[in-house]
Homo-oligomer: A and B are copies of this chain.
Protein backbone atom coordinates (compact mmCIF):
# COMPACT_ATOMS: atom_id res chain seq x y z
CA UNK A 1 0.00 0.00 0.00
CA UNK A 2 1.05 3.55 -0.63
CA UNK A 3 2.53 5.31 2.38
CA UNK A 4 1.62 8.88 3.08
CA UNK A 5 4.55 11.19 3.31
CA UNK A 6 2.82 14.23 4.68
CA UNK A 7 0.47 14.44 7.60
CA UNK A 8 -2.99 15.69 6.73
CA UNK A 9 -4.48 18.70 8.45
CA UNK A 10 -7.19 17.92 10.91
CA UNK A 11 -7.92 21.33 12.27
CA UNK A 12 -11.44 22.20 11.31
CA UNK A 13 -14.59 20.47 10.26
CA UNK A 14 -13.79 20.98 6.61
CA UNK A 15 -10.44 19.25 6.98
CA UNK A 16 -12.06 16.34 8.73
CA UNK A 17 -14.88 15.76 6.30
CA UNK A 18 -12.36 16.11 3.51
CA UNK A 19 -10.32 13.23 4.84
CA UNK A 20 -13.21 10.82 4.74
CA UNK A 21 -15.07 12.05 1.66
CA UNK A 22 -12.17 13.04 -0.55
CA UNK A 23 -11.73 10.36 -3.15
CA UNK A 24 -13.04 10.34 -6.65
CA UNK A 25 -15.86 7.90 -6.06
CA UNK A 26 -16.55 7.90 -2.34
CA UNK A 27 -19.50 10.23 -2.37
CA UNK A 28 -21.17 8.26 -5.12
CA UNK A 29 -20.50 5.01 -3.29
CA UNK A 30 -22.20 6.32 -0.19
CA UNK A 31 -25.05 7.64 -2.24
CA UNK A 32 -25.70 4.42 -4.09
CA UNK A 33 -25.35 2.31 -0.99
CA UNK A 34 -27.95 4.50 0.62
CA UNK A 35 -30.16 3.98 -2.43
CA UNK A 36 -30.07 0.27 -1.79
CA UNK A 37 -27.33 -0.82 -4.17
CA UNK A 38 -25.33 -2.70 -1.64
CA UNK A 39 -23.42 -5.38 -3.47
CA UNK A 40 -20.00 -4.70 -4.95
CA UNK A 41 -20.98 -5.87 -8.40
CA UNK A 42 -24.01 -3.66 -8.34
CA UNK A 43 -21.94 -0.67 -7.35
CA UNK A 44 -19.53 -1.41 -10.12
CA UNK A 45 -22.35 -1.44 -12.62
CA UNK A 46 -23.67 1.82 -11.23
CA UNK A 47 -20.27 3.47 -11.53
CA UNK A 48 -18.86 1.96 -14.70
CA UNK A 49 -16.19 4.61 -15.15
CA UNK A 50 -14.38 3.64 -12.00
CA UNK A 51 -12.11 0.67 -12.07
CA UNK A 52 -13.12 -2.24 -9.92
CA UNK A 53 -9.89 -1.84 -7.99
CA UNK A 54 -10.47 1.73 -6.84
CA UNK A 55 -14.00 1.03 -5.83
CA UNK A 56 -12.72 -1.73 -3.58
CA UNK A 57 -10.04 0.49 -2.18
CA UNK A 58 -12.40 3.33 -1.49
CA UNK A 59 -14.96 0.98 0.02
CA UNK A 60 -12.21 -0.26 2.33
CA UNK A 61 -11.44 3.25 3.42
CA UNK A 62 -15.07 4.09 3.98
CA UNK A 63 -15.28 1.00 6.13
CA UNK A 64 -12.19 1.93 8.12
CA UNK A 65 -13.69 5.35 8.63
CA UNK A 66 -16.81 3.67 9.96
CA UNK A 67 -19.16 5.12 7.42
CA UNK A 68 -20.13 1.71 6.06
CA UNK A 69 -19.98 -1.88 7.21
CA UNK A 70 -19.38 -4.98 5.18
CA UNK A 71 -21.39 -8.10 5.69
CA UNK A 72 -20.05 -11.28 4.17
CA UNK A 73 -22.42 -14.16 3.51
CA UNK A 74 -20.65 -17.51 3.62
CA UNK A 75 -22.17 -18.76 0.38
CA UNK A 76 -20.83 -19.71 -2.98
CA UNK A 77 -20.39 -17.72 -5.09
CA UNK A 78 -19.51 -15.24 -2.37
CA UNK A 79 -21.98 -12.54 -1.48
CA UNK A 80 -21.12 -9.28 0.18
CA UNK A 81 -23.35 -6.43 1.18
CA UNK A 82 -22.36 -3.00 2.27
CA UNK A 83 -24.58 -0.88 4.46
CA UNK A 84 -24.31 2.57 5.90
CA UNK A 85 -23.57 2.72 9.58
CA UNK A 86 -25.61 5.09 11.70
CA UNK A 87 -22.68 7.42 11.44
CA UNK A 88 -22.62 7.04 7.67
CA UNK A 89 -26.29 7.86 7.47
CA UNK A 90 -25.68 11.24 9.04
CA UNK A 91 -23.61 12.31 6.07
CA UNK A 92 -26.27 11.54 3.49
CA UNK A 93 -28.12 14.85 3.88
CA UNK A 94 -24.85 16.64 3.25
CA UNK A 95 -24.29 14.65 0.07
CA UNK A 96 -27.87 15.36 -0.91
CA UNK A 97 -27.15 19.06 -0.54
CA UNK A 98 -24.15 18.75 -2.82
CA UNK A 99 -26.13 16.88 -5.45
CA UNK A 100 -29.00 19.27 -5.23
CA UNK A 101 -26.81 22.28 -5.81
CA UNK A 102 -25.29 20.52 -8.79
CA UNK A 103 -28.68 19.69 -10.19
CA UNK A 104 -30.04 23.17 -9.68
CA UNK A 105 -27.17 24.69 -11.59
CA UNK A 106 -26.73 21.88 -14.03
CA UNK A 107 -26.76 23.86 -17.27
CA UNK A 108 -24.50 26.59 -16.09
CA UNK A 109 -22.04 24.17 -14.56
CA UNK A 110 -21.82 22.05 -17.66
CA UNK A 111 -21.25 25.20 -19.61
CA UNK A 112 -18.40 26.64 -17.55
CA UNK A 113 -16.74 23.29 -17.14
CA UNK A 114 -16.73 22.51 -20.84
CA UNK A 115 -15.62 26.01 -21.69
CA UNK A 116 -12.69 25.75 -19.34
CA UNK A 117 -11.64 22.36 -20.64
CA UNK A 118 -11.69 23.37 -24.27
CA UNK A 119 -9.83 26.58 -23.71
CA UNK A 120 -6.88 25.09 -21.94
CA UNK A 121 -6.58 21.99 -23.93
CA UNK A 122 -7.52 21.43 -27.51
CA UNK A 123 -7.04 17.72 -27.66
CA UNK A 124 -9.40 16.29 -30.24
CA UNK A 125 -9.75 13.12 -28.27
CA UNK A 126 -11.56 15.10 -25.65
CA UNK A 127 -13.81 17.41 -27.57
CA UNK A 128 -16.65 15.20 -28.66
The answer to the question of A71 belonging to the interface, with a C-beta cut-off of 8 Å to chain B, is: no
Say yes or no: A13 contacts B121, CB within 8 Å: no
User: Chain A: how many interface residues by the 8 Å CB criterion?
Assistant: 56
- Chain A interface mostly: helix
Q: Is the CB of B19 within 8 A of A113?
A: yes
* Contact A113 B16, beta carbon cutoff 8 Å: yes
User: B residues within 8 A CB of A125?
Assistant: 5
- A81-124 residues with Cβ-Cβ distance < 8 A to B are 87, 90-91, 93-95, 97-106, 108-110, 112-117, 119-121, 123
Contact across chains for A10 and B126 when beta carbons are under 8 A apart: no
Asked if A8 is at the interface of the complex by the 8 Å CB criterion, the answer is yes
| A residues with CB within 8 A of B | 1, 3-5, 7-10, 12-20, 27-28, 31, 49, 61, 64-66, 87, 90-91, 93-95, 97-106, 108-110, 112-117, 119-121, 123, 125-126
